[in-house]
Structure 1
Amino acid sequence: MVNVASEAGNFFQTDAEIQKQKEKEAKYNYTEGDAIQLNTKALALLVTGKYAYIAESGFSAKRINLETNKVGKIFKGHQGPVTCLALSHGKQIVWTGSWDKTIKKWDAKTGECLATLEGHTDFVKSLIVVGDHVYSGSSDTTIRQWNMDTLECVKILKKKDNRTIECLAADTQFLYAGSSDRLISKWDRTTGECVATFDEHDTSVYCIRVWDDEMWTASADKTVRRWNTETGAVDTVLTHPDRVKSIAVAEPYVITGSSDDAIRVWDIASGKLISTIQGHFDEVGCLDVVGSTLYSASLDCSLRRWSLTSSALKEYNEKKLKKPVEETGTGLTEEEERELAELMDDSDDE
């Protein structure tokens, strides 16, 4: 039987939810990782040079100067959370996608909205710039290909099933799309044909990174997998204690961000966990790497940076070992906890 709290302030919360809340409160900080506090939750991150571009749940995106930690420009105009972003034209143009079903084109220097692209009928979840085109993935189950100059939608890619497109990636010839049905589809960008489907994950695929003939994918099934893009073979599986939301590759490491608030650094060659970075106190959904510096953005409303040097990775592990271990058992299965959470969400909507 599910245990539900009866204390005022904790009505309709399971023991597991209360315990998790206590754990987050204990981890609360805006100091670890040279944290920059944001106004709202970070949903996407792109770091280039001295700037970090962040898409936020507060209906806007912003550019932060990493040398001063100051916000230099705010891109405001969407009518819903901004979920994704991309740069083009020598970093002079910013593209953003939103829950308001639109894509906006911005002047990076002035912050002016230059155009609004309409066509999707549900949330825009992912954007990627390839050549002269912007590709957008949506909860409406389609991928749209937009000409960046004419702003016309020149092609619509759609799988046979009706599931949300969660993420996009590309190499020199192909587009890769991860969806909520656990599948990754490989599209020929010239013909618009789906030429292969990768099926090893158990549920939603949240992030894809492609380098040469390798593809790294992160999933709600608590794993990260490395695929050969030609054969579809998986040669590496990295197992996590919770959903994996983000990936960055900085050889010899692959770095993962998870719903358990942790960042993990893995050795690519051996598949072994090298270091665990703790500092965030909510889901780590955004990662990017510049040189030997890792940038992470989270639902805890922060942007943080971490050194990836050998000495720093060792220090993260030593710091983790010094932290006291807390009891987290609740007697509930994970499935029971999620079922109750869904019931509570439903009751809130009524």
Structure 2
Amino acid sequence: MQSSDPEHFFETDAAQEKRQRRAAKAGNKYGNPISLKSKLLAALPDPRSPAAAVLVAEAAGAVRLVRLDDPDDTKTAYRGPTTPVCCLAVGGPNSGTLFAGCWDKTIWSWDLASRAPGRRYVGGHTDFVKAVVCARAGGKDLLISGGADKKIVVWDLVSGARLHTLQDSVVNMLSVQDLAVDHASSTPDEVSLISASSDPHIRRWKIRLDGWEQVVEAPPDAPGTDRRTILEHETTVYKLVLDLDGDEADLWTSSGDGTAKCLSRLRNFACEDTFHHGDHVRAVAVTDQWVITAGRDEDIKFWDRASGKLYCSLQGHYDEVTELVLLRGPSGSGERVCSVSIDGTVRTWPLEKAGLDAAVREQEKPVKEAGEEAGANGLLSAEEEAELAALMEDDE
């Protein structure tokens, strides 16, 4: 009989320790977890209920609607793919179509309301589709996808025709990780697109119906030289977020170098602020008050946007966090942030300080109780261990 139990195979000490730690952590209820049966690779707000529901991309090959205030209602799903769904977008006429990029090298679509399958976009990529966004130029709705094949493909959203394939012919572009439409720089006839990839270079593109070009410009601090890319990270850039739609919208990024950064539009997308999360930072979300980061280390970190200082770090997930989604009701009411993870859970976290403080106290309580129990058993608490260490240093 064959077995998939990792305990039946050779494991390094580090792998065994990680597995045991995650197993011990799996039962926690922090962030009001909604548990699904598959690894979760991406998410976005449901435009019909942006404060209370998210659409999540499952490794099992479906897109699932999760109503965050009704954790038992997770049966609504958009089905068709038989391989993992990597990325999601909503767009088209009246923003009524859901798009999903998949491991099968194609993009699937459904009517958002009826869940009826729509057009399938095939033949553009030769590897996983890892990013997809919707845009509009020259009176046409466009779908733009990025793949592990190092290509960005522009599609006519309605007909499914391939219009352009974008590639950097000078600076080698690796697997595309994320795409963002820069509305502040776009016009009715031209889409301004920003791309991130497994190399540290962030690229900018101009896309029209009749052609495209990569943005090449002279940086203000080095006149006479050309800059083909924005180079502020040391390795893979996973996420691109534009925090506003206005002319001053800054670009926020997260990277495998362990940082999230604010790239200032007024400084030609030079780095303005750096947040040292640690380990791979897979996701970043931004509000007027907070910069929120998450990734491989499983924690959700809240940074004070004004001071740049870490406000708190919240535990809950027991595997890599893949996406952060801001949930906003009418006029910004009911704001929360939602996180999804390889661990198969969807969790929500408050954004107001009082709620964050309460979450921190909730997570500190078991640690405090464990310390008190250890003291009652004649063992030293963490504070006592620290005092003893200080005394021993004084004696040396």
Using the TM superposition, give the Cα deviation of residue 29 of structure 1 relative to its aligned residue in structure 2, in angstroms: 2.2
Q: How many residues align?
A: 319
Q: Which has the higher strand share?
A: 1
Matches within 5 A, 1:148-159: 148-159=157-168
Equivalence for 1:126: 131
Equivalence for 1:167: 178
Equivalence for 1:99: 103
What secondary structure is seen at the aligned counterpart in 2 of 1:71? coil
Does 2:217 match 1:180?
Answer: no
Equivalence for 2:347: 304
Using the TM superposition, give the Cα deviation of residue 79 of structure 1 relative to its aligned residue in structure 2, in angstroms: 2.7
Using the TM superposition, give the Cα deviation of residue 110 of structure 1 relative to its aligned residue in structure 2, in angstroms: 2.2
Which whole-Å deviations, capped at 9, do the CAs of 1:174-199 have from their partners, x for residues lacking one? 21111111111111233521114111
Distance 2:291 2:12 in 1: 35
Alignment identity in percent? 32
Using the TM superposition, give the Cα deviation of residue 313 of structure 1 relative to its aligned residue in structure 2, in angstroms: 1.4
Q: Could you tell me the TM-score, scaled by structure 1's length?
A: 0.86
- Decide which moves more: 14-23 or 175-184: 14-23
Using the TM superposition, give the Cα deviation of residue 151 of structure 1 relative to its aligned residue in structure 2, in angstroms: 1.6
What secondary structure is seen at the aligned counterpart in 2 of 1:159? coil
Does 2:278 match 1:241?
Answer: yes
Using the TM superposition, give the Cα deviation of residue 104 of structure 1 relative to its aligned residue in structure 2, in angstroms: 0.9
Does 2:252 match 1:216?
Answer: yes
Using the TM superposition, give the Cα deviation of residue 264 of structure 1 relative to its aligned residue in structure 2, in angstroms: 0.7
Does the 8 A contact of 1:29 with 1:281 survive in 2? no
Q: 1:109 aligned to 113, 120, 133, which one?
A: 113
Which whole-Å deviations, capped at 9, do the CAs of 1:194-229 have from their partners, x for residues lacking one? 114111211111111013431111111111111123
Does the 8 A contact of 1:128 with 1:168 survive in 2? yes
Letter in 1 for 2:196: G
Equivalence for 1:34: 32
Distance 2:364 2:286 in 1: 25
Pick closer, same or farther for the CA change 1:304–1:90 going to 2, 3 Å.
farther
Q: 1:71 aligned to 74, 83, 88, which one?
A: 74
What secondary structure is seen at the aligned counterpart in 2 of 1:177? strand
Does the 8 A contact of 1:127 with 1:137 survive in 2? yes
Q: 1:141 aligned to 146, 150, 153, which one?
A: 150
Does 2:41 match 1:21?
Answer: no
Letter in 1 for 2:16: I
Distance 2:45 2:28 in 1: 20
Equivalence for 1:4: none
Does 2:61 match 1:52?
Answer: no
Distance 2:286 2:118 in 1: 33
What secondary structure is seen at the aligned counterpart in 2 of 1:22? helix
Which whole-Å deviations, capped at 9, do the CAs of 1:56-87 have from their partners, x for residues lacking one? 10011111233433125311111310001111
Does the 8 A contact of 1:278 with 1:316 survive in 2? no
Equivalence for 1:194: 214
Equivalence for 1:293: 336
Does the 8 A contact of 2:277 with 2:301 survive in 1? no
Equivalence for 1:335: none
Using the TM superposition, give the Cα deviation of residue 315 of structure 1 relative to its aligned residue in structure 2, in angstroms: 2.2
Distance 1:307 1:113 in 2: 35
Using the TM superposition, give the Cα deviation of residue 13 of structure 1 relative to its aligned residue in structure 2, in angstroms: 2.4
Which whole-Å deviations, capped at 9, do the CAs of 1:102-134 have from their partners, x for residues lacking one? 001111122221111012110000111122211
Does the 8 A contact of 1:133 with 1:148 survive in 2? yes
Letter in 2 for 1:278: Q
Does the 8 A contact of 1:30 with 1:302 survive in 2? no
- Decide which moves more: 236-245 or 60-69: 60-69
Does the 8 A contact of 2:251 with 2:269 survive in 1? no
Distance 2:15 2:69 in 1: 38
Instruction: Between the two structures, name the one with larger relative contact order (CA 8 Å, sep ≥ 6).
Output: 1
Using the TM superposition, give the Cα deviation of residue 322 of structure 1 relative to its aligned residue in structure 2, in angstroms: 4.2
Equivalence for 1:347: none
Letter in 1 for 2:258: K
Distance 1:36 1:26 in 2: 18
